[in-house]
Amino acid sequence: MQRRKFLSLAAVAALSLSVAACDTAAEAPANGGGAADGKKPYIAIVSKGFQHQFWQSVKQGAENAAKEFNVEISFEGPDKETNVQQQMDQLNNAMAKNPQALALAALDSKAAEGVLEDAKSKNIPVIAFDSGVDSDIPVATASTDNKAAAAEAAKHMAELLGKKGEIAIIGHSQTATSGTDRRDGFVDYLKTNAPDIKIVDIQYADGDQAKSTDAAKAIMTAYPNLAGMYGTNEGAAIGVVNAVKEAGKTGKLTIVGFDSGKAQMDAIKDGLMAGAVTQNPVGIGYETVKAAVAAIKGEKVEKVIDTGFYWYDKTNIADPKIAANLYE
């Protein structure tokens, strides 16, 4: 009698485990799981947002690589690049699906520390992209050398101003590495190479066009002798352009930007903006997935994957080499 009772309890336990396993599988992506079970490896990708065309181009590059390397990916990001908590929720949800690799462009490096530690404890390789994180856990970072790219923007600003005058910066982030690097690379270049250019103010507007416009207008009011302004991403740069137009100062300030997008390209063609530095967003997405695939296989991955940048202005915007890295 006791033996039959034991067998009955064992059967119930086995059934419970089976149901639990089915529930877990239902939460995973359709093609999730590892190569060992015959399914495609799953790579979870969490970007900084979807508000700019830049991220759609990164997504396209990731999808190209996923197809080439026969893996399954998910690609998501918060509604705005200020929504750190929303990104953290997306990262935690991605980890709950047990990916074979995690890729992230962190809005806040410190906020992401817990997720990075969780991935490390589960032997899930992490690839950082677009913006590095202050951690040794990522096996690779696929991004533009933002300091070098910002220095290129500063170099052109200095040349356009004859290496003198007052300028200001509209930054997009004080917490993301891309934001601080694009600020510091620009500032450091001018300190070393154009000390007679004075940076009178640096304001941060979260990459939001409207906020950037308001910040730029306030700076122009406070500094009537302003000669130039630099926007550290698409939203910041277009905010500056809009502010200059609204203030009736078109042609009186030299504007340089970062990233691409139709609005910036139109502003450059129309002479409202002197030029900008563009990244290679499709390449960033592609290299991120490529590195993740290699890490899953246990292959060596370069710690830093430089995806490159280009300066573009009216003189070269139609150059095929440049045009291939511009996105609308």
**pLDDT tens digits along 269-285:** 999 999 999 999 889 99
Does the pLDDT value for residue 116 go beyond 50?
yes
Distance of CA 90 to the CA centre of its chain: 15
Does the pLDDT value for residue 12 go beyond 90?
no
Cβ density class 111-138: b for 16+ within 10 Å, e for less? bbeebbeebeeeebbbbbbbbbbebeeb
Q: For position 38, what pLDDT does the model report?
A: 55
The token duo for 8 is 């009955």
- Categorize the per-residue pLDDT at 211 as very low, low, confident or very high, splitting at 50, 70 and 90: very high
Q: For the chain, what is the mean pLDDT?
A: 89
What percentage of the chain reaches a pLDDT higher than 90?
77
C-beta separation of 280 from 325 below 8 A: yes
- Categorize the per-residue pLDDT at 11 as very low, low, confident or very high, splitting at 50, 70 and 90: very low
State the average pLDDT over residues 246-252: 94
State the average pLDDT over residues 298-311: 95
Does the pLDDT value for residue 20 go beyond 80?
no
State the average pLDDT over residues 224-237: 97
State the average pLDDT over residues 97-122: 96
Q: For position 325, what pLDDT does the model report?
A: 85
Closest CA to 268 of 123, 167, 156, 171: 156
Worst-scoring range by mean pLDDT, 51-65, 67-81, 173-187, 208-222?
51-65
Kindly write down the DSSP assignment for every residue of 13-52, as one continuous string.
HHHHHHHHHHHHHHHS-TT-S-GGGTSPPEEEEE-S-SSS
Does the pLDDT value for residue 26 go beyond 50?
no
Sequence-separated (6 or more) residues with CB below 8 Å from residue 268: 274, 275, 276, 312, 313, 314, 317
Strand-pair partners of 311: 277
Q: For position 292, what pLDDT does the model report?
A: 98
Does the pLDDT value for residue 268 go beyond 90?
yes
State the average pLDDT over residues 156-185: 96
Q: For position 132, what pLDDT does the model report?
A: 79
Q: For position 37, what pLDDT does the model report?
A: 52
DSSP state of 273: S
The token duo for 57 is 């181009």
Does the pLDDT value for residue 179 go beyond 90?
yes
Tokens 């979807």 locate to 50
State the average pLDDT over residues 56-83: 95
Q: For position 131, what pLDDT does the model report?
A: 80
C-beta separation of 166 from 225 below 8 A: yes
φ, ψ (nearest 5 deg) of residue 44: -90, 130
State the average pLDDT over residues 126-155: 94
- Categorize the per-residue pLDDT at 1 as very low, low, confident or very high, splitting at 50, 70 and 90: very low
